[in-house]
């Protein structure tokens, strides 16, 4: 049975989807998180600050569901420009430093609300 995961510590969904779904025994699917501060509704400037906020949003959802960054087994990082890849990686490495998940990272034409990065994650816990 699927369980909807929702927290006020991450931005509310801006469409017909859930922040995350816990599926069966141990799988957590986190929707793409854009760098919106859930308390202010504001987006920070620059790729470093935006990557940090997007990952803080992922972390808030993980915590709500009882998971940690060490439980993440796959991420997808969507970038507005591959020119931001190195800066995004530098921040990303601070969140994933023990168990490195599998990952895809690529540039897209446009992201919601004109942000520079969006990050989705899949986690698993026994």
According to the model, what pLDDT value does residue 98 have?
83
Q: What is the pLDDT of residues 67-126, one digit of tens each?
A: 999 999 999 999 999 999 999 999 999 999 888 999 999 999 999 999 999 999 999 998
CA distance 99 to 89: 15
**Averaged pLDDT for residues 49-53:** 98
- For residue 53, pLDDT over 90 is answered with yes
According to the model, what pLDDT value does residue 10 have?
96
Q: How confident is the model at residue 54 (pLDDT cuts 50, 70, 90)?
A: very high
Q: How far is CA 50 from CA 1, 27, 119, in A?
A: 34, 26, 10
Q: What is the pLDDT of residues 17-45, one digit of tens each?
A: 999 999 988 999 999 999 999 999 999 99
According to the model, what pLDDT value does residue 84 have?
98
* Rounded (5°) CA angle 99-104-109: 145
Q: What is the pLDDT of residues 1-22, one digit of tens each?
A: 899 999 999 999 888 999 999 9
Residue 80 is part of which domain span? Answer: 2-124
CA distance 73 to 109: 26
- Cα 61 to the chain's mean position, in Å? 9
How many structural domains does the chain have? 1
* CATH assignment of the domain containing 28: 3.30.1330.40
- For residue 61, pLDDT over 90 is answered with yes
């Amino acid at each position: 049975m699927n369980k909807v995961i929702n927290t006020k510590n991450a931005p509310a969904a801006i469409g017909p989807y859930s922040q995350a779904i816990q599926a069966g025994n141990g799988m957590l699917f986190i929707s793409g998180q854009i760098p919106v501060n859930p308390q202010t509704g504001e987006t920070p400037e620059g790729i470093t600050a935006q990557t940090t906020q997007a990952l803080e949003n992922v972390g808030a959802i993980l915590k709500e569901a009882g998971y940690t960054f060490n439980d993440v087994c796959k991420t997808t990082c969507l970038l507005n420009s591959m020119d931001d890849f190195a800066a995004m990686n530098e921040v990303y490495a601070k969140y994933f430093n023990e168990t490195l998940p599998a990952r895809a990272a690529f540039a897209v034409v446009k992201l919601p609300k004109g942000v520079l990065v969006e990050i989705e994650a899949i986690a698993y816990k026994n």
